[in-house]
Amino acid sequence: MNYPVETSVIENIVEALHIKNIEKATIREVVAIADKIEQQTGLEFIRMEMGVPGLPASTVGVEAEINALKSGVASLYPPIDGIPELKKESSRFIQAFVNLAVNPECCVPVVGSMEGSFASFIIANQCNPLKDTILFIDPGFPVQKQQATVLGYKYLSFDVYDFRGEKLRAELEKYLATGTISCMIYSNPNNPGWFCLQEEELRTIGELANQYDTLVIEDLAYFSMDFRKDLGKPFESPFQASVGRYTDNFILLISGSKVFSYAGQRIAVVAISNSLYQKTMPGLTQRYGGGTFGSVFIHRILYAISTGTSHSAQHALAAMFRAASDGSYAFLEEVKEYGRRAKRLKQIFLKHGFEIVYDNDLGEEIADGFYFTIRYPGMTGGELLKALIPFGISAISLSTTGSKQEGLRACTSFIKDHQYELLDQRLEAFKTERNS
């Protein structure tokens, strides 16, 4: 047994990495700390800090991309608005699994949902000079706030867990009534809490978006991964919940990274509502001299950022969307492994006195999935993170996600079969040290 790691070793590593406060450490900084400790001590870490797919990439996508490369697409610039096959299959996929009609023209490939949110923030803050603030319906993906900081944009946030159901309307309206909110963003299922905003809550968001003429950016990074429902049958109810049923002021971010385990190729689709795509905005006209929301998004903003998205990866995503919509590729069956891992991991943490932070979803038990959240009585999230790292357990503090709760976000993706027993042993040692 080579844990707990000596405090001095960890302090020296943190200092060398110029990290001033572990509690506020970014995901990548926690990764660096764990990497350095592993290198210096040989201690195998139980890695739960980074949301990277831990399953093989979809063979449907891989084969399609290989064939595309063999056909010579690598030598050609891709159409910046997307290859026709991907635009068509994106529209069909959204109809099949969200039950929304989004025209192929309005489905635009991006270099992962990260580029999608970055570009969406830019255009949202340019539509109306009076609306210059992003509202994060938290907790959420920490890097999206970093994007706002990079852009120099103002942002506000609130922890939606305290305002579920009927409470949501009044809290949202408090911000929207200022007239300064350009857009709202949230993930569904939620990163990190894994709760899911329900149809009535999305109706509230949509109605207020209409009332205050505010954009809604719906991040579907974990598309249909609410495993409590059978969301994997194309063109059959139940469907992925979406604000798109209640407003035309929507942008959907649909990523290939998690649901198809295709993160390495950086491919996603931004789906803009049909009416929003064709809309002209005073701020955009003033800045660019004309153009619709959709044309500015593609030919001004995306063109300036990346000049298009990987040609071969577009063919891969088109093939995966096509197979899923055809019903020949049961894509959700593969990623249900994350739910099985979460269930086992939570049982081990609960056994050793931990608690689930976001444990309730409007009266229903929280789903098992890609993430879950933990706390330990009497400890802040930062204190818990610092206490677990010496035992070779890494996660990120909830404070970095905009959460007002104390605790950690744990990701299930990198857990290996032999690590359940390791985790059990290390948490027993952690508990013994805490009680000594």
**pLDDT at 65 (0 to 100):** 98
Domain count, the chain: 2
- Residues 66, 143 within the same domain: yes
Query: Is the pLDDT at 1 greater than 70, yes or no?
Result: no
Average of per-residue pLDDT across 301-306:
96
- Residues 92, 177 within the same domain: yes
- Residues 309, 376 within the same domain: no
Backbone angles phi, psi at 362, to 5 degrees: 50, 50
Average of per-residue pLDDT across 369-395:
95
Question: Per-residue pLDDT tens for 77-97?
Answer: 999 999 999 999 999 999 999
The CATH number assigned to the domain holding 363 equals: 3.90.1150.100
Average of per-residue pLDDT across 56-66:
97
Query: What number of other Cβ atoms are within 10 A of residue 30's Cβ?
Result: 23
- Residues 322, 381 within the same domain: no
Choosing from 326, 347, 382, the residue where a domain stops is 326
Residue 1 falls inside a structural domain: no
The CATH number assigned to the domain holding 109 equals: 3.40.640.10
Residue 252 falls inside a structural domain: yes
Residue 2 falls inside a structural domain: no
Q: What is the pTM of this model?
A: 0.94
Average of per-residue pLDDT across 190-212:
97
- Residues 244, 221 within the same domain: yes
Please give the residue range of the domain that contains residue 225: 59-326
Q: Omega into 79 within 30° of 0, i.e. cis? A: no
Choosing from 309, 326, 343, the residue where a domain stops is 326
**pLDDT at 140 (0 to 100):** 94
Choosing from 291, 326, 361, the residue where a domain stops is 326
Average of per-residue pLDDT across 227-235:
95
**pLDDT at 52 (0 to 100):** 87
Question: Per-residue pLDDT tens for 314-340?
Answer: 999 999 999 999 999 999 999 999 999
Residue 349 falls inside a structural domain: yes
**pLDDT at 146 (0 to 100):** 94
- Residues 69, 27 within the same domain: no
Question: Per-residue pLDDT tens for 104-150?
Answer: 999 999 999 999 999 999 999 999 999 999 999 999 999 999 999 99
- Residues 6+ away with beta carbon under 8 Å from 126: 281, 283, 284, 287, 296
- The mean of the pLDDT values for the chain is 95
- Residues 301, 337 within the same domain: no
**pLDDT at 7 (0 to 100):** 87
**pLDDT at 264 (0 to 100):** 95
Query: Is the pLDDT at 424 greater than 70, yes or no?
Result: yes
- Residues 203, 222 within the same domain: yes
Q: Which of 325, 256, 322, 310 is nearest to 68 (CA)?
A: 310
Query: Is the pLDDT at 436 greater than 90, yes or no?
Result: no
**pLDDT at 360 (0 to 100):** 87
Residue 64 falls inside a structural domain: yes
- Residues 194, 338 within the same domain: no
CB of 2 within 8 A of CB of 392? no
